[in-house]
Amino acid sequence: MAQTVTDVVTGTWKSILSWDRLDTQEVGTVRNKKTSSYTYTISDGDGSGQSDLVFTDTRTIASNTVEQIDLLALTQTTLTVSVPFTFRQLTVVRFRNTETEVGKRLLVGVDPGMPTTSYAFEVGPESEFAAVNTTDSWVVTNTNSVIYLSNPNSTSLTYEVYLLGNSAAVGGSGL
Residue 173 has pLDDT above 80, yes or no: no
Report DSSP letters for 97-138, one per residue. E---STT--EEES--TTSTTT--SEEE-TT-EEEEE--SS-E
The pLDDT tens digits of the residues spanning 133-154 come to: 888 888 888 888 888 899 999 9
Cα 97 off chain centre by: 11
Let me know: does 60 contact 31? Beta carbons within 8 Å: no
Tell me the per-residue pLDDT of 47-70, one tens digit each, with 9 for 90 and over: 777 788 788 889 999 999 989 888
**Of 28 and 79, the one with more pLDDT:** 28
Q: How large a percentage of the chain has pLDDT more than 90?
A: 23
**Residue 104 pLDDT exceeds 50:** yes
Looking at 3.30.70.580, 3.40.50.720, 2.60.120.770, 3.40.190.80, the CATH number of the domain 47-169 comes to 2.60.120.770
Q: Residue 7 and residue 164: Cα distance in Å, rounded?
A: 11
Mean pLDDT calculated for residue range 8-33: 74
Average pLDDT, integer, range 21-34: 75
pTM of the model: 0.75
Note the Cα 73 to chain centre separation in Å: 16
Mean pLDDT for 23-47 is 77
- The whole-number pLDDT of residue 172 equals 43
